[in-house]
Amino acid sequence: MTKKIEIVPIAFVKNSRKEPTDDNWSEVISEIELASDVPTESLDGIETFSHLHILFHFHKSEKTMNGAGHPRGNTEYPKVGIFVQRKKDRPNHIGLTTVKLLKHTGRVLTVANLDAIDGTPIVDIKPVLKEFLPNDSIKQPDWSSDLMKQYWKK
């Protein structure tokens, strides 16, 4: 059943954050530049959207957690499964973030709120449509709100 799937980078991140760190991502503005074999037309019209979903590869992560653990190793948080966390050391090492598109110039997008370090390979870019956002209220446990307190702060 478990067939391998091969994917390739379609773009790369350029920004000032060279090493993985947990918090304060809002201060980072990133450029996303298309890989050399991807046509410029693949971004045509992207400036008609305000937000994008960016799927990227946690390329510096060399560990994989498969089962359950305390988020950030914090024993004050409950032990939960890897698919109940957004931790980078996960099966397939794929990250997903909603970013704000600030500028589109040719093969480069300038975005805010991308929590990926310099050099990160991007594997997909999708426009955010209202119709793909949750249409009812979000329930999440207290530990997750606590963990996020410093995440976006400058």
Question: Of residues 30-49, which lie at the interface with a second copy (CB under 8 A)?
Answer: 35-39, 41-46, 48-49
130 binds a second copy (CB under 8 A): yes
111 binds a second copy (CB under 8 A): no
| Integer CA distances (angstroms), 109 to 53, 124, 136, in order | 13, 13, 31
Q: How far is the CB of 71 from a second copy (least distance, A)?
A: 10
98 binds a second copy (CB under 8 A): yes
| Integer CA distances (angstroms), 41 to 55, 108, 129, in order | 19, 12, 20
Of 60 and 132, the one with the shorter C-beta distance to a second copy is 132
Cβ contact 99:112 at 8 Å:
yes
Q: Which amino acid is at 61?
A: S
Q: Three-class SS of residue 9?
A: coil
Q: How far is the CB of 58 from a second copy (least distance, A)?
A: 10
Spell out the residues 6+ positions from residue 20 whose beta carbon is closer than 8 angstroms to its own: 60, 61, 88, 117
Q: How far is the CB of 63 from a second copy (least distance, A)?
A: 15
Find the binding residues for a second copy in span 77-96 (CB under 8 A). Answer: 78-86, 90-92, 94, 96
Binder among 20, 68, 103, 105 for a second copy (CB under 8 A): 68
Of 16 and 96, the one with the shorter C-beta distance to a second copy is 96
Residues paired with residue 12 on neighbouring β-strands, in sequence order: 33, 121
